[in-house]
Amino acid sequence: MAESKQRLEIVTPQKKVFNEDVNFVVIPGELGELGILPNHAPLMTSLKIGEVRIQMDGNTTRMAISGGFAEIVKNKVTILADTAERPEDIDFERAERAKERAEKRLADKSADIDFIRAEMALKRAINRLRMKQ
């Protein structure tokens, strides 16, 4: 029989952040957002900096992640994220400081900066700040 739920597990190098049965999950795939319903076909994709949206018994939970991989096998979605934070765990002042730091680096044409690194830091900060709403 087709299942109405699927297991979602989100892990980072530090800890298991989430492990529950959910109805629907949207993940920030490298090629665009992917909405995953139970009984999805097997899939593996890399993930961008973005938001994971989880629907569970009528509630929506959001999580900011900064890239990683997702695998779907046998009604289980596993997300291996570089970092994953719920909105209530985000220090928005810290994210604001990180954003300003990255913007300064990117604006400083004379400095010998690692452009990609600064750009990724800026994207992570903006992604965290977006979780305020």
CA nearest to 29, candidates 9, 48, 53, 52: 48
Q: How far is the CB of 111 from ligand ATP (least distance, A)?
A: 17
Q: Which residue is associated with the tokens 């830091």?
A: 121
Q: How far is the CB of 91 from ligand ATP (least distance, A)?
A: 4
Residues 79-98 that bind ligand ATP (CB under 6 A): 83, 85, 89-91, 94-95, 98
* Burial status of residue 74 (CB atoms within 10 A of its CB: 0-12, 13-18, 19 or more): exposed
Angle in degrees, CA 31, 18, 102, rounded to 5: 55
Residues 109-128 that bind ligand ATP (CB under 6 A): 121, 124, 128
Residue 36 near residue 72 (C-beta atoms within 8 A): yes
Residues 3-62 that bind ligand ATP (CB under 6 A): 14
Nearer to ligand ATP, 89 or 114 (CB): 89
Residues at the site binding ligand ATP, with contacts judged by CB under 6 A: 14, 66, 83, 85, 89-91, 94-95, 98, 121, 124, 128
